Amino acid sequence: MSCKLKTALLCATVLAGAPMASAAPLVTGAVDDAATIAIAGERSPNLAVARDLGTLADFTVLPHVTMVLKRPAALQAAFDKLVHDQTDAASPSYHKWLSPADLRAYGPDQADIARTVAWLQSHGLTVNRVAPSGMSIDFAGSAAAIAGAFHTSLHNVSFAGETHIANMSDLAIPAALSPVVRGATLSNFFPKPNMVKPSPGFTLPTSPTFYAVGAQDFATIYNVQSLRSAATNFYGQPITGTGVTVAVVEQTDISPADWTTFRTQFGLGGYAGTLSITHPGGCGDPGFTFDEGEAALDAEWSSAVAPDASIVEAACAGSATTFGVETTLQNLVELGTPASVLSISYGGSEAGNGLTFLQGWNDLVEMGASEGLSIMISTGDGGVSANTGGITGNGIAVNGLSTNAYNTSLGGTDFYDTALGQNAKYWSAKNMVGKSSAMSYVPEIPWDNSCSSSIVVKYLGYPGALASCNASPTNPGDGVPFVQNDVGGTGGQSIYFAKPDWQNIGVRGVPKDGVRDQPDVSLFASNGSWGHFYVFCMSNRNTGGTRCNYGNINDVFGNAAGGTSFAAPAFAGIMALVDEVKGIKVGNASPRLYQLAQLQFDNSVLSLKCNATLGNAISTACVFNNVTTGNNSEPCIAGTVDCHGTGAQGIGVLRSPNFPMVNAFPAQPGYSLATGLGSVNVANLLYNY
């Protein structure tokens, strides 16, 4: 059984049985604003480096604020046990999924909700909606009224070049409400899309030949192609996602024409997959925003792997204090969706928006898992700091969206062939069917563009990461690029969530750290540092797009990117193939993935023959391509948290206090915090699932 958060409150004893109502309402006595209790963890750590721009004007109206509620401890424990048992083949509850309507039976007592609503209204706040599950309340009000109700002040602040709203202290609520109210999300340091464009002068080696990854390349590298012909797979019929629906969870609209162009250009036009765009639950239409590239690639790359699947691009508008992606997820989970697989490609530091935001997100993902949804979430593109935008001083962190026990977290790899001087061994000099050029599986390393990557250090000839990261910046074209950056696949250890039991079954390499480790699995995610990147199609120039004419090199680079943003929808496509083969919703994939990994990693022969560095000599029996070389380390500002060493330019390298002798985090045989269980041979995964 997994414990939710590492607090006594949520590590309740597990109770068996059906949903139970609380014996009596938990809110007793007077709801007195003079008798309050603080809600710890609500002041964002981002404020330590943000610039205060002053108090938010009292009359500013915040039209949507989310208050997160909590279940009675016994009811929470019963729900946790049910969700656990739904993926346990030995349990009577195995694959017996809930419906959205069933969720209310596991929610707070109605009388407690009513008293909470009355308290909000007593402060002049308007309640827009109580969630169907009873687990949250959407309310509105002026900045002055909201700040007064929660005993804090709201300011505008500047962080990472953007203006945000933030509560400047932890919140406080009447103590009488504390058994049912977890808190409210008043800051808006919301997660960002996990997509990274190629950057000039960022590529190793200088001016290489580029081998871009299209849909058919992916199918060759990860053994999807053999599933598409009845003559070449175990099932005697094509496995292409027929009858399965995948929803990509977004906060922007996309153009269906781009999706169609992508499929046509990359040889998928003959498949019967469809795209629909919805605003679930009648939520606000977000229109076309600068997140459009993210949403377009999510829809395209889930379809690239499962070309006969139905793709739903689901999008809701956000607000000043609500995250549109969270609203979309909530409506899909609480109101229902035809999808059995969800893909989410956003990320941000686990502590960034406070514990209330994190727990509210966790509740939604757990409810989705209880309905049998397989939820794929990318780990992020900021290396071991979950921070993109420059050398970090914030220490090691993970993506809060992917750190719970109820999703599969997707990390990132890069290809090793360029560093080895072996491009010709794996890529055709001319494009083949569907613009493909990959000829086989390509050896993989962790995706890490930075000067602290052990692969980069070796390639550039430095004695170590400190020397590499403290070298003087160089001029473009002189053969030694300047790689002081924090771009790469995020992986690491949660600071809040305990290790799920399915991650604690003794798989080789999984740390005995007691916390949720991520990623679970990885797929190629590079944005071009070693000459490889993904191609997608987003042509809307108003939101940063480029026409999708792949015969024009400028258009290719305009639609080139990397990031774990691609890994999540691609793995969602893989899970659509699993659902098609099984004929049912399989729910959270992670428990089964670790079971399969244990079987492979405990086999001494496969442990040797499934090493990703073998490239096209890797065994055809592998489920996981085990990444064992490289790391996902990154540079940091000397003297800051988790930063080890000091060089000539005042730059160190991040190390985890749990692993103080190595730069965080090295790939290794078995599981690693760099790439999880590794990447997958898709056909073998399906045969063994």
Contacts of 461 (CB under 8 A, 6+ apart): none
> For the residues 57-86, what does the mean pLDDT come to?
97
Would you call 237 exposed, middle or buried from its count of C-beta atoms within 10 A (0-12, 13-18, 19+)?
exposed
Collapsed DSSP state (helix, strand, coil) of residue 363: helix
% of the chain exceeding 70 in pLDDT: 93
Least confident interval from 202-211, 339-348, 523-532: 202-211
Least confident interval from 385-394, 491-500, 621-630: 385-394
Would you call 368 exposed, middle or buried from its count of C-beta atoms within 10 A (0-12, 13-18, 19+)?
buried
So what's the pLDDT on residue 475?
43
547 pLDDT above the threshold of 60: yes
**Could you say which DSSP state residue 209 is in?**
P
Beta pairing, strands 61-69 & 136-142? antiparallel
Winning range, highest mean pLDDT, from 268-282, 472-486, 540-554:
268-282
More confident residue, 332 or 435: 332
> For the residues 496-520, what does the mean pLDDT come to?
97
> For the residues 536-544, what does the mean pLDDT come to?
96
Q: Which two tokens stand for residue 324?
A: 């549109």
Mean pLDDT of the chain: 92
Least confident interval from 283-292, 479-488, 516-525: 479-488
Residue 389 pLDDT class (50, 70, 90 cuts) = low
So what's the pLDDT on residue 482?
53
Cβ contact 612:625 at 8 Å: yes
Length in residues, the chain: 689
So what's the pLDDT on residue 57?
97
202 pLDDT above the threshold of 50: no
So what's the pLDDT on residue 15?
31
Integer-rounded Cα Rg, in Å, for the chain is 24
So what's the pLDDT on residue 19?
52
So what's the pLDDT on residue 386?
80
Contacts of 211 (CB under 8 A, 6+ apart): 423, 427, 437, 438, 531, 532
39 pLDDT above the threshold of 90: yes
Report the side by side order of strands in the sheet with 162-167. Answer: 51-55, 154-159, 162-167
Q: Which two tokens stand for residue 491?
A: 């992986």
Residue 430 pLDDT class (50, 70, 90 cuts) = confident
User: d(Cα 666, Cα 673) in Å, to the nearest integer?
Assistant: 7
- Per DSSP, the residues of 217-272 read HHHHHTT-GGGGSGGGSTTSS--S-TT-EEEEEESS---HHHHHHHHHHTT-TTS-
Please state the three-class secondary structure of 30-68 as a single string.
CCCCCCEEEECCCCCHHHHCCEEEEECCCCCEEEEEEEE
> For the residues 277-288, what does the mean pLDDT come to?
97
135 pLDDT above the threshold of 70: yes
Other C-beta atoms within 10 Å of 666: how many?
18
16 pLDDT above the threshold of 70: no
Cβ contact 153:55 at 8 Å: yes
So what's the pLDDT on residue 612?
98
Model pLDDT for residues 582-604, shown as the tens digit of each residue:
999 999 999 999 999 999 999 99
Contacts of 195 (CB under 8 A, 6+ apart): 293, 294, 297, 345, 381, 561, 562, 563, 565, 566
So what's the pLDDT on residue 210?
86
Collapsed DSSP state (helix, strand, coil) of residue 278: strand
Phi first, then psi, for residue 430 (nearest 5°) are -125, 150
> For the residues 36-65, what does the mean pLDDT come to?
94
User: d(Cα 601, Cα 680) in Å, to the nearest integer?
Assistant: 14
So what's the pLDDT on residue 200?
52
7 pLDDT above the threshold of 70: no
Cβ contact 490:382 at 8 Å: yes
pTM confidence score: 0.94
Sorted by where each starts, the structural domains of the chain and their CATH numbers stand as 36-185 (no CATH), 215-506+517-688 (3.40.50.200)
Q: Is the sign of the CA dihedral 115, 121, 122, 123 positive or negative?
A: positive
Residue 231 pLDDT class (50, 70, 90 cuts) = confident
Q: Which H helix or E strand runs over 79?
A: helix 73-85
> For the residues 35-55, what does the mean pLDDT come to?
93
